[in-house]
Amino acid sequence: MVKIVFREHDGTEHVVDAKEGASVMLAAVTNGVPGIDADCGGACSCATCHVYVKEEWLDKLDAITPMEEAMLSLSSDRKDNSRLSCQIQVNANLDGLEVETPEFQY
């Protein structure tokens, strides 16, 4: 199991044990972490699992695909550390990963 820390917009923290191979989005949804809607169910096609990744973890993630970039670029709340959590696969290198959920998903 891999530890992932979700921080809500208001600061509320949720620490979950995530399964390797699953996505960070799924780790949130299956553990009842609020703030992630995942309307498309993990197909990288709605941008409602948007998270801000704590800077020191960014380099450990796979590169953003053109599809993810296309979806992220349409959000007004996009920042440099924005990712879609359905596109982050949980692995041992991400133990302790910290992400923040935005105030709104859309």
Q: Tell which one of 8, 14, 45, 89 touches another protein (CB under 8 A).
A: 45
Q: Which is nearer to another protein, 96 or 106 (CB)?
A: 106
Taking a C-beta distance cutoff of 8 angstroms, is the pair 6, 32 a contact?
no
- Cα separation, 46 vs 60, whole angstroms: 24
Q: CA nearest 39: which of 71, 69, 70?
A: 71
- 73 binds another protein per the rule CB under 8 A: yes
Strand pairing of 97-100 and 2-7? parallel
Among 46, 49, 88, 90, binds another protein (CB under 8 A): 46
74 binds another protein (CB under 8 A): yes
Q: Which is nearer to another protein, 42 or 61 (CB)?
A: 42
